[in-house]
Every structure is written in structure tokens, then in C-alpha cells.
Amino acid sequence: MSMTRVCLVTDELYPFTPGGIGRVAHNLIMDSQRHGANVEFHVLFPPTVSVQTAQVELFFGGRVKAHLCDFREPQQTTADAHGFYPPTEAFRDSRWHGESLEVMRYLKAREAEGLRFDVIEFADFRGWAFAALQEKHLGLAFAQTTLSVRLHSSYGTLMHHEPNTLEVENLGRYEIERKSLLDADLVVGHLPCIAEFNRRFYGFDDAWMRKVRVEFPPVVMESPAESSRPFDVPATQRNLVFVTKIQHFKQPDVFVRGAVLLMRTWPEYQGKAILACHAFDPEFLAEVKALIPSDLTDRFVFIKPGPDREAHMRAGVVVITSSYESLNLTAYEASVAGTRLVLNSACLAFGDDSPFVDGVHCHKYDGSLDALVVAMRKALEGPELAPVRWTVDRPYWERHAREALPTRSPRSPLVSVVIINQDQGIFLPIALQGVAASTYPEVEVVIVDDGSTSAFDMQVLQRLERSAAEGEGLRVVRSPIRRGFAGARNLGVRAARGEYVVFLESDDSLSPDFIQHAVAALEARQEFSGVVPTGGRFHSSEELANRQFKGFMTYLGDCPTYALAANQVSAPTALLRRTVLEQHAYNETLSGYADWDFFLRLAQGGHRFLVTNQVHFFSRRGHAITPSASQQRQHFRWLVRLFEGVPAPLHPSTRLFALLAHSREAMVDPYGALDTHERRPSSAASASLESAQALAEAARPLRYDVVDLMNAALKRLPLVHPLLKQAVAGKPAPASGAVGSVNPGDAPPLRYVLVDRANTLFKRMPVIHRAIRSTVSRLT
């Protein structure tokens, strides 16, 4: 029988770091080795963990291989055989999104080198499984690997027990964890109640529970020695001991209040209250200490965990007041050591589904302060209790069946690429070239002209209509009026014949392999409604050719909560099933944010999307501008209409703090809150929106557009263009076929530098400058 290879992705591992996640990982490894399981363990750490891999391997006797995943610098982009990856700073929804990409890239690189894992397990906290799951479901890696997520305690579940500021990143953290749990191949829970709680909390349907495995892990690795048995201390002298963490959801404030009330109501009691734990928030620690009356300060002791922690536990009563725990190893360790134990029964980990029985292994209270004091006194005065009993389940990887390669459909269904044009005919060749370069064989192109009026566009459209008459793969649909963003897309859907539809603006483009990957993924996985491409922004055709992106567009896919605060679901260019577009048309009554409205309704309706990790969508955009006061007012008017269209009731996984977070962010930067890639609103047909778009385009100097057009014309003269470039640069022209630097940080094109210098010179002559600008404006 071949050995099963398991990789645990974690930033915690006992005894090198604190934290319950690390203790569980340690116990799983040690228990597996103890009974001789045929498992080869690997542990992958992020660079934020200050641990030496050699020390880890030495501690586990060479039976564990440790890896350290180096993250790129925030601004660093990367290209490989599969495409172009955005830098980590591009993921504005949450830095955890960028971290998940780095973890995925490391694991994928090891797989390419031949190190293939049968199981890769992630924790739910931070949602680091996200990027790897997208890559697997897109068929780009991990085909025979089970990607699992273990339920410890996600940030999302703890948010409601902790004070949180209204930051949009909190929405990203919540959603990336939710999406990781939803898309995972397997979810591991320690108790049935914890699995059910997560199902209800995130709004998953009953089908999600079919991929959940409830496995109780090893919680205590060694039986306590005789010398560690509890001390025989009189009841009135025993100490109350708090040994978890100074965190809000652990409720140390409740412990302090309970101890003070006990001391006030039981004069004979002379014990102390000892808080032997880590404190990560100085302000909260100060709040907890402020609850102690001045006459009792000498009876409250705050110490860090150390060698005497165990002695304090054995001599006193351990009180665990947490409002939420998924397991809590401390409770089991204390019970096995014979310590008197007080537990909060309102906490799921200590409820009826847990091994703890009230009056047998511990004293439980219902979460109220008065009940806590009663339980404390029972534990102090009562007899010793029996140690808790449990059964360790063998982990799923010990009976792991190798993942079968996913069946790829032999079909090649037709894909309709609908290109929307509105007086942007000059850019249509770029969009068409991108489609022509597609590696997917069955593609039709539908050009929807949304009431263009320019003479140039009329000529381009006539030529395209002649081409369409000669072949089957191209059609032109002209609207005599401007229907706007929503209307033009609905018209395109009606004209399209494909089973899948993807929209493009006339100045956008797709990577050659996007359609192929997207269709293959959707054919293999019917639960997804579409594939969302990560995007890159460019200003000129030269930047597009060299992949010199000036910004990136990153998305989460289906994110019902975040979608209330920003259009973080998808760019309008997602490849969608035609059935989705037939069920959910674009709302033509909206003059703005029609794309946001569309994807918000899909996310709230339960539709799921895959997201590419590589950049597959290229969008020409102007420079950022600061919105005017009128645009900010328009932004909020559109929001009102947007929220009126949200399906009722809201999706179960929606958390309404999204609206508050959005309002706070929007007051500072409304368009940044809407779209982290552009400080401009979405496309629409209203006059007010056209004004906003005009401002956005005006932010890009007009002289750049003119010199770009001249440069494009000169490039059609292969002998003249290099000579002219040599003349203005003062250096030899590059040889034919030479490739220049494509680093994003390169200097601007030489033509921009020259025209900037000329512009500075003309500005010294105001009359001439105004005349030239007026002439150029009419020409363009």
C-alpha cells in the first residue's frame, strides 16, 4: 500500500507557536505516528512565522517535512506558463486573498516538480484555501488532491463576539472564509454541533453537510504523572484560574466580574483570581483590569503562561467563560489532570453534543453572571469530579481514497462573445484580435452597436457587416437608439446563439486561453454559474502587448455580504451560462450601476462563480479622478435604486453590517468603495453618468490619445517607424523582432515624454496652446 502524503497549511504548530490550531495539528501528527499510520506529513508555514524548518523536522524525529512559503513583495507581479499573476497589493478585498494566492503558487510549483499531495488541509481561519480551490476547480492544478478545510474558528464566526470597526476589509475576510468552506472538497468538524452551526451561520444548504466529516481529534497526548495530580487545598483557599486568552470572545471580563461577585457574597472565601494567559490587546486588558475594585486588587494576579501555569490549574478551579469555541483543548487537559472545571454551557463546544456532562466532569452554567458564581462555589466546595472521556476518530487521510481525475466533457458548446460598442470603433480591432487568438474552437462574435453616431464608427461597422455576410462566426446588431449598459447587453443575449455568453466592451480584450479554461470548468462542475476573470488595466496598445498593467481588477465571485458594499462579485466580462442570463436580465430601468445590480442579484440568489487567479481580462482605462460633489450625490441615488432590487429576504449568509461599512467608506471615497480598481462609476446611458465618464477620460491627457493615434499610424510603415524612433531617442533603433523590457515599473513611452515636453513649451504661449487644444479636440 502506497504512503498517503498530507500537507498541513498553518501558521501555528505546537510547541513553536501558541494557539489552539497549532495544538490540534501537533496532536494529529503525533497520534498518527504513535499508532504507525502510513502517512507522510508535510507542514507549510507562511513567512510570517519565525520558525526554522530544521527545528521542526528535528522535533518530529525527521518524520515531518517542513516548508516555508516566501510571499512576493506587495508590488511584484509574476508570470509563468499559465499566465500573469497580479501583485498581492492588488487584492483590496482582503490581504488574505493575496496570501492565499501565494500559498497556491507555492503548492502548485511543488506539484509541477513532482511533489504531489494526496491531501492538503487548510484551517478555516483566514480562508487560505480560496486560491487553491479556484485553481483546482478550473482544472489547472491539484486534480488528484483532496483540498480540505478544518473548522477551528473562522474570523467570520468570531466577528460577532469581538468588537470590529466598520472596515470593508472585514467583509473580504468574512467572504473569503465562507467561499473556502463552500468550495472545499471536504470540511472537517470536531463536533456535530460545530458543523451545523457553520452551516446555518454561512447559509449553506443541507447538501453542504454531505461533504462534512465529523472527527474528534486527539486532545491530550500524555496522561498526567502522579506528581501532577491536584493539590489538596481547602475550599476557601482555592484559586479561581483563567487560562485561555485575554480576548473578547473568551470573556475574561465575565470571569473578573464573577470572581468579584463571589468574593463580595462569600466573605469566608480568601482565594485569588489568577489570569495566566496571553494578552494581545493592551486596551482590552486595561478594560478588564479596570473592573477590579481597588480593595480587591491584591487578590487578582495577571501572569503570562509559564511553568507555574500547570501548578495553578491543579491547585484551583479552572473557569472557561468563552462565548464560542470549536473545541478548547485546555478544558480536556484540565479535566484529565483532575482539575475542578467550570464551563459555559452556552458555548457550543461544551453543550450537550460535547463529552462534558454537568455534575460528572464539570460544573456548567448558562452564561449568566449569577449562574457563574453559583457554579464557581460548587466547584470550590464540591468533591472531585471524574475526568472527561472521549473517543478519538481516525483522521480521514488514513482511509483516503485517491481522487479520480475529473471527467472532462468531450463537448465543445458554442460560446457567444458579445462586444458592446458605442462610438469606440477605433478600438474594436483589439477586441476582435483577442477573440481570434482564442484557443477555444467554437466561438461566435456578436457586435452590438449601441447607437453610435461618429462617421468613423459607421465605416468600421459597414466593413464588419460585409465580413459578417461572408462567414458564420461574426454578426453585427445595430441599435438605432442608445439603450445604455443594460439594454445593449440584453439585446446581445437575444442575438447570441451560444450556450455560454461573455461580454466585452469594444476597448477590452481576453487572454487566448480564458474561454477554453472557463468552459471546461463549467462543463465539469454544474454547481457553478460562471467564471470570473481577474483583470489588468492598460492605457495604450503598447502596454497591452507587453502586459504592462497599470492596475488590476480582482474579485471574490459569489459574496452576498460584500456585494452590498461593492461590486466585488465580477467584472462585466464573466463567462456565464446562457440560462443564467435568460433567468436574470440586466435591469434597463437603472441609469447607473446596472452591472453591480446584476451580479448582486445573482449572488443574493445563490449563484456560484469560479475566479481565475491569473489575469485573463484586459481593460483600457483612463487615470483616476476625484469625484465631484454632484457625482457623490448621484452615487447614493443609484445605491437607493440598487438596494430596492435586492431579492427579499436576503441570502442567509448576508450580514447587514455590510451596509454600514459601505456607508462609512463611501463618505470618504464613494467610487473607491464601489470599485477598488477605478475611481469612477460603472457604465450606463444616463447623461449624468456620461458626464462622469467624460471627466474620467479627461483625466488622461488629450495629447496622449493624439500621439497614440499617430504612433499606431506610423507603425503601419515598418521602415519609417524605427528610423523615426531612433531620431527622436538619439540612439540606434532596435533590431527587428527585439523585445524590450516589460516590467510594470518601466518609464513611460518615449512619445509621452516628448509630447509632455512640447505641451510644457506651448503652455508658455496661452493663445497658441488654446488654439492647438481646440483643433485637436475637434479632430479626436
Domain harbouring 501, CATH code: 3.90.550.10
Enter the pTM of the model.
Answer: 0.84
Q: Are residues 361 and 424 in the same domain?
A: no
pLDDT digits (tens, 9 = 90+) for 723-746: 555 554 554 444 333 333 333 333
Closest Cα to residue 246, out of 210, 275, 214? 275
Task: Quickly count: other Cβ atoms within 10 Å of residue 34's Cβ.
Answer: 10
pLDDT of residue 162: 84
Boundary (domain end) residue, out of 672, 695, 718: 695
Asked if residue 405 is part of any domain, the answer here is no
Find where cell 481576453 sits. Answer: 510
Q: Which three cell numbers stand for residue 208?
A: 453542504
Asked if residue 258 is part of any domain, the answer here is yes
Q: Are residues 651 and 717 in the same domain?
A: no
Domain hosting residue 359, numbered range: 226-381
pLDDT of residue 659: 74
Closest Cα to residue 145, out of 181, 120, 108, 122? 120
Q: Are residues 199 and 125 in the same domain?
A: yes
Boundary (domain end) residue, out of 655, 671, 695: 695
pLDDT digits (tens, 9 = 90+) for 655-701: 887 777 655 444 444 334 444 333 333 333 333 333 333 333 334 45
Q: Are residues 454 and 553 in the same domain?
A: yes
Asked if residue 409 is part of any domain, the answer here is no
Asked if residue 393 is part of any domain, the answer here is no
Asked if residue 219 is part of any domain, the answer here is no
Q: Are residues 707 and 607 in the same domain?
A: no
Dihedral, 460, 463, 468, 469 alpha carbons, nearest 10: 150
Q: Are residues 170 and 86 in the same domain?
A: yes
Cβ pair 173, 187 in contact under 8 A: no
Question: Regarding beta strands 552-553 and 500-505, do their DSSP bridges make them parallel or antiparallel, or are they unpaired?
Answer: unpaired
Q: Are residues 356 and 428 in the same domain?
A: no
pLDDT of residue 682: 38
Q: Are residues 94 and 122 in the same domain?
A: yes
Q: Are residues 719 and 690 in the same domain?
A: no
pLDDT of residue 494: 96
Averaged in consecutive runs of 10 residues, what is the pLDDT profile of the chain (780 residues)?
Answer: 91 92 96 92 95 95 95 91 90 94 97 96 98 97 97 92 80 96 98 96 95 95 61 88 94 98 97 93 95 97 86 91 94 92 96 94 97 97 94 91 70 96 92 93 96 94 90 90 95 97 94 96 97 93 87 95 92 95 95 93 96 95 70 85 88 83 48 38 35 37 60 56 52 38 46 65 58 54
Dihedral, 667, 668, 672, 673 alpha carbons, nearest 10: -40
Share in percent of the chain as helix, strand, coil (round to 5): 45, 15, 40
DSSP string for residues in 104-162: HHHHHHHHHTT---SEEEEESTT-TTHHHHHHHHTTSS-TT-EEEEE-S--HHHHGGGS
Peptide bond into 681 cis (omega under 30): no
Q: Are residues 178 and 285 in the same domain?
A: no
Q: Are residues 165 and 310 in the same domain?
A: no
Boundary (domain end) residue, out of 381, 404, 434: 381
Asked if residue 189 is part of any domain, the answer here is yes
pLDDT of residue 677: 36
End-to-end CA distance of the chain: 72
Query: How many Å apart are CA 419 and CA 98, to the nearest integer?
Result: 31
pLDDT of residue 733: 41
Cβ pair 133, 108 in contact under 8 A: no
Q: Are residues 59 and 152 in the same domain?
A: yes
Cβ pair 256, 292 in contact under 8 A: yes
* Residues 442, 534, 81: CA angle, nearest 5 degrees: 70
Question: Regarding beta strands 575-577 and 443-450, do their DSSP bridges make them parallel or antiparallel, or are they unpaired?
Answer: unpaired
- How far is the CA of 269 from the CAs of 239, 263, 301, 610, in angstroms? 10, 6, 16, 61
Asked if residue 460 is part of any domain, the answer here is yes
pLDDT of residue 382: 93
Query: How many Å apart are CA 372 and CA 252, to the nearest integer?
Result: 13
Asked if residue 402 is part of any domain, the answer here is no
Q: Residue 130's domain is classified under what CATH number? A: 3.40.50.2000
Count of the separate structural domains present in the chain: 4
